[in-house]
Amino acid sequence: MARRVPRAALIACAIAAVSTLAAWPAAGAEGARSPVLVSYSFDDDEIATGPDTFRIYQQSKGSVRLTSALRYSGYRSVELREVAGDGAFPELQGYFSLRRSGKLFAHFSIMSADPAQTFNLALAGPRWFTLSKDGIAFWMLSRNGFLYHYSDSMPKRLVPMLAFVWYTVDVAYDIGAGHYDLVVRQEGVADPVVSLAAQINAPNAPGSGVDKFSFIGDTGEDTSSVVYYVDDVILSADRPVSQQAFVAPGRRKLFVDAWYDYQKLARSRPVCLPAIAPGDLGFDATALEEIEKSGELPRLALVLQGQARQTAQGLDALSPQSQLLMRSSLSWREGCAALEAGRALEALAHFERASSLAPGGRLQSLSAALALAALSRWKDADARIAAVESEMHGDPRLAAASAIVGVARGDLDRAEEILASQEAGDPQSPFAPRLAEQSFFVLLWKSAWDRAEELARRMAESAEARGASAALWQERVGDAAFLGGDAGRALVWYEKSLAGQPGSALLAVKLSDVHFKLGDLEKERRFREAVYGSLKE
């Protein structure tokens, strides 16, 4: 791990952060609390990429590599080399625990071989590198020989930049206030060349959280041919914070465990079930014919597919009945988007409106049941499901919705029972794999590893017998085996699965976990770096 901090950089950061910074141990040790979130001097031999350290992108002609030719301190820095017109980009993208309050201190040194060429660096939050709250908080760039920062949604010129001269940047970001102090020092110049206080953050958004950083060339224009260097990246909080210890190279949680937690979180939250046919939303043949003639069919298709946010404008040419159906469908889609975003109350209002506009639409009612479950209104949810039971008898989405409600309220036994009752149903149903998948995850959450593995194995065999790809279910067998503690069997099934989905990044990182458990660190690294990249000289 590259968490050794060069003394000069540590002192600079400590001045900005807390005067006692040096007294704190670096984060990462078991149980350690430290204000230091990230510290890379790039001098260590082994720098592990991963979801809790950083990721290297270098898909085309550009590169990100360690170099000892030029460095600010120690004996190495990182060189980012961008090639214009190659259709890709090099990037060093790093991660740290989310900070939503207090101050964040960032310290780094940069040097460009040609300041006329563009490079960008940023601190951002959960909304990634977008100009929005929780997106980019701090953004600095070089262009046409000048260094700029992006404040209040506009680039502001800071200082002319000289080639092959190090610039050391210190940012003290007040997250709650949404502004930062910025100091830039130029190599060989005694006083700071930039010293600004209380600069508005990039999107002018107080309370914009941060959890990642990025060093990149241009931001998509593919016109930059910059070569620049980064050294001594240190990020710290204004108080000691707890961080989980690293359990394996580059990660504080095994990939399989993170995947399991994500699945549990995502699948426990009710979301809309898909519309398969327009009839699900109440459209009959007459309405469909009219909509087709009016040219609105593409819009209806987009609504059914959930691909677009649509407006109700322009429906005036339709008959009143068709207008109601279209408005109901649009409202249903808005509700689905709200439910997915975790706004269950808003979703329920959309679904209720959709139901009142199209009383014959069964999916609107079923979706209302799911929104009620998301609001923990279990009795109301059960009642809504019961109300559509006769209309949707035999429709696997009814069972799926019942199981989702069961999972949401933590009644895994009931969910398992409902799903098991469906297993004997029509195996050719397009919904059968989805039901099996739900059963599989319910079994995982009940820690019924053996039964989960058996179900996945049966599904894999069934897929093979049909001549379909068994890769996903083979992966599931591996998941259950790994979570059940048998890394050796997991390896066998993951490798089988890999043959059917050789490009799967998820499978690659799961294999990295398996090899870590089995003690093969070379293969652990190979699979991890296939996804997160590597940083080498």
Partner 1 sequence: MRHLLTSVAVVCLVVIFPPQSAAPQAAPQTANAALRDLLFPEVKVEALRARGPGVASELAVLYSQSGEQERAVIAWTFYQLGLKSADAKRVLMADVHTANSDLRLQVQWALGRVSNDRDVIDALLGNMQHDDNPLFRDKAACALAHDQIHLTEEQKAYMYERLIGALRDPKHQVRDIAIKVLEIQTGQSKGYNPSAPAPQREESIRTWERWLDEYRAQL
The minimum distance between CB 11 and partner 1, in angstroms, equals 29
Q: Tally Cβ neighbours within 10 Å of residue 95.
A: 17
Q: Side-chain half-sphere of 190: how many Cα atoms within 13 Å?
A: 0
- Compare residues 219 and 244 and give the one whose CB is closer to partner 1: 219
The minimum distance between CB 88 and partner 1, in angstroms, equals 9
Partners of 123 in the beta sheet? Answer: 138, 213
- Taking the C-alpha atoms of residue 325 and residue 309, their distance in angstroms, rounded to an integer, is 17
Binding window for partner 1 (CB under 8 A); candidates: 255-263, 310-318, 339-347, 372-380: 310-318
Classify residue 145 by its DSSP letter: T
Reduce the secondary structure of 190-258 to three states and give it as a string: CCCCEEEEEEECCCCCCCCCEEEEEEECCCCCCCCCCEEEEEEEEEEEEEEEECCCCCECCECCCHHHH
Classify residue 280 by its DSSP letter: G
The minimum distance between CB 61 and partner 1, in angstroms, equals 12
Q: Side-chain half-sphere of 324: how many Cα atoms within 13 Å?
A: 13
Binding window for partner 1 (CB under 8 A); candidates: 100-108, 209-217, 372-380, 406-414: 209-217
Torsion of CA 430, 434, 436, 438, to 10 degrees: -160
Which of 91, 238, 395, 475: binder of partner 1 (CB under 8 A)? 91
- Compare residues 87 and 320 and give the one whose CB is closer to partner 1: 87
How many secondary structure helices (H) and strands (E) does the chain include? 16, 15
Q: What is the CA radius of gyration of the chain?
A: 27
* 222 touches partner 1 (CB under 8 A): yes
Contact criterion met (CB below 8 Å) for 181 and 199: yes
The minimum distance between CB 13 and partner 1, in angstroms, equals 23
* 132 touches partner 1 (CB under 8 A): yes
- Compare residues 68 and 305 and give the one whose CB is closer to partner 1: 305
Neighbouring residues of 476: CB distance < 8 A, sequence distance ≥ 6: 440, 452, 456, 459, 460
* 205 touches partner 1 (CB under 8 A): yes
Which of 87, 188, 467, 503: binder of partner 1 (CB under 8 A)? 87
Binding window for partner 1 (CB under 8 A); candidates: 30-38, 115-123, 172-180, 231-239: 115-123
Contact criterion met (CB below 8 Å) for 166 and 230: no
- Compare residues 92 and 392 and give the one whose CB is closer to partner 1: 92
SS3 311: coil
Which of 30, 46, 191, 221: binder of partner 1 (CB under 8 A)? 221
Between residue 140 and residue 199, which ones bind partner 1 under the rule CB under 8 A?
152-157
The minimum distance between CB 256 and partner 1, in angstroms, equals 25
* 220 touches partner 1 (CB under 8 A): yes
The minimum distance between CB 378 and partner 1, in angstroms, equals 32
The minimum distance between CB 243 and partner 1, in angstroms, equals 24
* 272 touches partner 1 (CB under 8 A): no
* 33 touches partner 1 (CB under 8 A): no
* 446 closest CA partner among 391, 483, 393: 483
- Compare residues 112 and 422 and give the one whose CB is closer to partner 1: 112
- Compare residues 198 and 308 and give the one whose CB is closer to partner 1: 308
Show the CA angle centred on residue 98, arms to residues 532 and 529, nearest 5°: 5
The interface mask with partner 1, positions 38-57, x = CB under 8 A, is -------------------x
* 131 touches partner 1 (CB under 8 A): yes
Which of 54, 89, 431, 449: binder of partner 1 (CB under 8 A)? 89
Q: Tally Cβ neighbours within 10 Å of residue 466.
A: 11
* 302 touches partner 1 (CB under 8 A): yes
The minimum distance between CB 420 and partner 1, in angstroms, equals 36
Residue length of the chain: 537
- Compare residues 220 and 467 and give the one whose CB is closer to partner 1: 220
Which of 63, 97, 204, 268: binder of partner 1 (CB under 8 A)? 204
CA distances from 158 to 106, 141, 402 (A): 18, 10, 59
Binding window for partner 1 (CB under 8 A); candidates: 25-33, 71-79, 121-129, 499-507: 121-129
Q: For tokens 């190279």, what's the residue?
A: 249
Torsion of CA 80, 83, 86, 89, to 10 degrees: 20
Binding window for partner 1 (CB under 8 A); candidates: 123-131, 226-234, 260-268, 512-520: 123-131
Which of 127, 269, 377, 414: binder of partner 1 (CB under 8 A)? 127
- Compare residues 67 and 153 and give the one whose CB is closer to partner 1: 153
- Taking the C-alpha atoms of residue 365 and residue 331, their distance in angstroms, rounded to an integer, is 12
- Taking the C-alpha atoms of residue 235 and residue 143, their distance in angstroms, rounded to an integer, is 25
* 128 touches partner 1 (CB under 8 A): yes
Give the interface size with partner 1 as a residue count (CB under 8 A): 46
* 299 touches partner 1 (CB under 8 A): yes
Q: Is 305 exposed, middle or buried (0-12, 13-18, 19+ CB in 10 A)?
A: exposed
* 294 touches partner 1 (CB under 8 A): no
Contact criterion met (CB below 8 Å) for 380 and 393: no
**Which parts of this chain interact with partner 1 (CB under 8 A)?**
57, 85, 87, 89, 91, 93, 120-122, 127-133, 135-136, 152-157, 202-205, 214-216, 219-222, 295, 298-299, 302, 307-311, 313-314
